[in-house]
Chain A
Amino acid sequence: MRSERATARSGNRDLERDQDRQPSQSGDGGHANIPPPTSHFSSFSPRFYAGTLRLLRHPVTRRLAQAVLVAFLLMVFAFLLVRLIPGDPAMILLGDVATEEDLIAYRKLLGIDGPLHSQFGRYISNVARGDFGLSIRSREPVLSIIGKRLPVSLWLTATTIFMTVVLALPLGVAAALYRRTWFGHVFQIVASVFVATPVFFSGLLLILLFAVQVSLAPIAGYYPGFPANLYSLWLPALTINCVLVPVLARILQSSIIETSSEEFVEAAIIRGTQGWRFYWRYLLRPSLAPTIAALGYFAATVVSYAVIIEIIFNLPGVGMTLVDAVRNRDYPLVQGIVFLSGLLVVGLTFTADLVNGWLDPRAKMR
C-alpha cells in the first residue's frame, strides 16, 4: 500500500513538473486532488522519488502505457460492436414470435438494457473479473469456451512465428549477400510468386503434397498435447509462412544491403573483424529493427489468418469458434474472442518493441 501511494504521489509530481508542456494531463484521475506533502510522504527519501520518476520516464514504461491504452480502446471497441449493429440483437435472435417480456429478459442476458454508460460500467467490471458472459448458443461461460480453444491457436501462432524466424533470417541474409548471383534473382521471382498466392490455395496444395502424397502430416484435425501437436501444426504454419517469410526476408534483405554500405562496416573490415562477429554485430544486428517490428505486426495477422487456416486444416482453435459464433449471432462469444485475440496482438507487438530496444539502442531513443 505504502509503495503504491508513493508511486501515485510521485507520478503526480511528474505531471506537475510537465504541466506547461501537457496542461491537459493536470486533472488526470484522482491523483490531482492528493493533499500537499505531509509527514507521511516525507518519510520517502528523495532517492526514492528519483527512482520512481526514472521508472515513469523509462521508454519501456511509456511503451507499456501505450499498450494498456490500446487494450482499453480495444475493450471499448468490443463493447460497441454489439451496440452499434443496426437493429435490436434480441429481436434478431428471437425472431418475430418473441413477446415483449422475452425481449426484455434477453436484453438483460446480453447486457444491452438500460443507458449506454451504465452498460459500459457493468461491462468493464465484468471483464475485470474475467466474466465475459454466457454463450447464447451453448449457455457455457465465454471464457471457458475460449479457454478450451485458445491453446490450439496459441500453439499455431507460436509454431508459425518460430518457423518464420528460422526461415526468414537465413533467407534474408543469403538474399542480401548473394543478391548479384543467380540465387538473388531466383529469390526475387519466387518471393513475388509466393506472396501473390492466396493461403487457401497454397494450403490445399501443401495438404495434397505433404499429407496425401506422403503422409508427413494429417490431412485434417488436431492432436492435442506437445510435442504431438507439432505433427498437425507444422503444415498450417508453413502455409501462413508462404506469405510471411518472403515479405520478411525481403525487408531484412533491403536493410542488410543498406547497412552493408555503412562506413562502420568498412571500419570493421579494416580492423579485421571476421566470422560470426562480423555478420552478427555489423550486418545483422544493426539491420534487424525493421524486420522485428514487421514480425510483430505480422504475428498479429497470424491471428486473423488463423480463421482461414483453421477451417482449411480443421483445427479446433479460436478462429473456427469465431466463425461459428458469427454465423450463430452469438454476440457475447464474438465480443470475448475479439477482445482476447486483440489483447494477444497488443502483447505481441509490445514484445517485438522490447526485443528491438534490446537489440538496437537507437530504437529506444524514438
Chain B
Amino acid sequence: MLPVVDAANLSLDRRQAVGIVGESGSGKTMLCRALIGTLARHGAEITAGTVRFGGLDLAAASERVWRGIRGREIGYIPQSSLAGLNPVLTVETQLVESISAMGTLSRRQARDKAVELLERVRIPRAPQVLKARGHQLSGGMRQRVMIAAAIAQSPKLLIADEPTTALDVTIQREILSLITQLRHELNMALVLVSHDLAVIEDVCDDVMVMYAGASVESGPVAALSKTPRHPYTRALRVSRVDRALPGQDLDAIPGDAASVGSWPAGCRFWPRCSHADEECRRGSQPALMPIGRQLSACIHAERLVVGEQLPAVANQEDSARRRK
C-alpha cells in the first residue's frame, strides 16, 4: 500500500470554517474521504491516526456508526455536481432520500420539505426543478441542489470538496456566498477544499496548506496571507492569477508536484524550493512547528522574515540543476 496522506493535522471548532488548499494530488480529496468514511470504496484505509468528531473516533468507527454520522452529522458536497446526481432519478427522489433515507416521511411531507430546501438554497421555481433530472439543469443549479441535499438534515459539519471548480466565476461567487450564509444560518462548521487560495481567504477563518500528503502550514487566514511561513504557501500566493500583470508571464511554481509513491527524502518540497539547502534533503518530512500565530513545516521558517519582499520564483533551470 502506498501512503497518500501521512502528515495532516486538522482541527476545527463548532461554527468554524477551515480551508484546505493545495495542488492536485496533494491528498485534499483523500483527506475529505477520510472525514466522510468512504475511503474503502476507493481502495484506501486509515492505518494510523485518529478522526475525532464529538466524542467519537471515526477512524475506527464501524459502518453502523458511520450510517448515523454521514448525512446527519456531516454533510458532503462533491467535486462534480453532474456526476453527483443520478441521471435516472429526479431531483425530488434524491432530495427526499436525503431528508429521510429510510423513507419514514409521507410523500407529501417529504415533498414539502424538499421544496423548502430548494428555496433555502435560493432556487427559483422549486416545484419544476424537483421534477427535473441532473442533465436538465445548469451547473450552478446542480451545485445548489447538491448543497440542498447536503444540508437536508442540518449537519453540524459541512465538507465541500472543490464545490466551485467546474463553475464560471460569477456563479462561483454566488455559490460561495450561499455556503457562507447557510453556515451562519445553520450554525455549521465548514471544511472547504480548493486549489485556489483566494477562495479560501474569502470564506474561511483558518487554512491548512497541503503538499504531497502533508500539511506544510496552517493557521488563521489573515496570518498566512500576510506572513506566509512556508515557501510553498508563498509560492501559491505569488502564482495567483489576479496578481499577474497584463503581458507578463504568470509566476508558476517551477517543476511538477511530487506524485504519490515518489515523494523525495527530507522536506517534500525541496526540489522546487528556492530556499532549499543540504539540511532540507535529509531525514523525513519535518513536523509542524509553531511560529508566530501559525504552524509551519519549514525548518527555515524563522528566516522567512516578516515584511520581507516575496521571493522571486526560481526559474526552471535552477530547479532542474538542483534535482541532479
Contacts and interface: CB of A to CB of B under 8 A. Distances in A.
Nearest to B103: A277
Contact of B83 (A264, A268, A271, A274): A264
Contacts, number: 74
B154 to A, nearest CB: 13
Contacts of B102: 272, 274
A145 B70 CA distance: 65
Contacts of B103: 277
Contact of B152 (A268, A271, A274, A281): A271
A16 to B, nearest CB: 30
Interface stretch (A108-116, A229-237, A355-363): A355-363
Contacts of A266: 38, 41, 78
A65 to B, nearest CB: 25
Contacts of A273: 97, 101
Interface residues of B, number: 30
Interface string A263-284: 1101111111110010001100
Contact of A274 (B78, B101, B146): B101
A17 B136 CA distance: 26
Contacts of B70: 269-272
A28 interface: no
Contacts of A365: 135
B186 interface: no
Interface string B128-144: 00000101000000000
B250 interface: no
A269 B102 CA distance: 12
A294 B120 CA distance: 44
B176 interface: no
Nearest to A266: B38
A262 interface: yes
Interface stretch (B53-61, B85-93, B199-207): B85-93
A273 B101 CA distance: 5
Given A266-B41, A271-B97, A271-B101, A285 B78 contact: no
A218 B71 CA distance: 58
B135 A282 contact: no
A221 interface: no
Nearest to A285: B88
Nearest to A259: B86
A61 to B, nearest CB: 21
B76 interface: yes
B78 A263 contact: yes
B149 to A, nearest CB: 6
Q: SS class of chain A's interface: helix, strand, loop or mixed?
A: helix
B71 A271 contact: yes
Interface residues of A, number: 22
Contact of B87 (A268, A269, A272, A286): A286
A362 B88 contact: yes
Contacts of A268: 86, 94, 97
Interface string B144-185: 001001001000000000000000000000000000000000
B83 A263 contact: yes
B98 A271 contact: yes
B227 interface: no
Contact of A361 (B80, B88, B94, B101): B88
B188 to A, nearest CB: 16
Given A266-B41, A277-B97, A281-B93, A271 B88 contact: no
Nearest to A274: B101
B237 interface: no
A263 B88 contact: no
Interface in A277-304: 277, 281-282, 285-286
A267 B87 contact: no
Interface string A244-272: 00000000000000000011101111111
A264 B86 contact: yes
Contacts of A269: 38, 41, 70
A270 B36 contact: yes
A271 B67 contact: no
A264 B84 contact: yes
Residue among A268, A272, A273, A282 with the highest chain B CB neighbour number at 10 A: A272
B133 A270 contact: no
A321 B68 CA distance: 64
Interface string B33-67: 00010100100000000000000000000000001
Given A272-B70, A272-B101, A362-B135, A281 B83 contact: no
Contacts of B28: none
B187 interface: no
A273 B149 CA distance: 12
29 contacts: A264-B83, A264-B84, A264-B87, A266-B38, A266-B41, A267-B76, A267-B78, A267-B84, A269-B38, A270-B36, A270-B76, A271-B94, A271-B98, A271-B101, A271-B149, A272-B70, A272-B71, A272-B101, A273-B97, A273-B101, A274-B67, A274-B101, A281-B86, A282-B86, A286-B86, A286-B87, A359-B88, A362-B88, A365-B135
Given A277-B97, A286-B86, 9 more contacts: A262-B83, A266-B78, A267-B146, A268-B86, A268-B94, A269-B41, A281-B88, A281-B93, A286-B88
Q: Return the 7 tightest CB-CB contacts between A and B, nearest first.
A: A272-B101, A263-B83, A264-B86, A271-B98, A271-B71, A272-B71, A267-B84
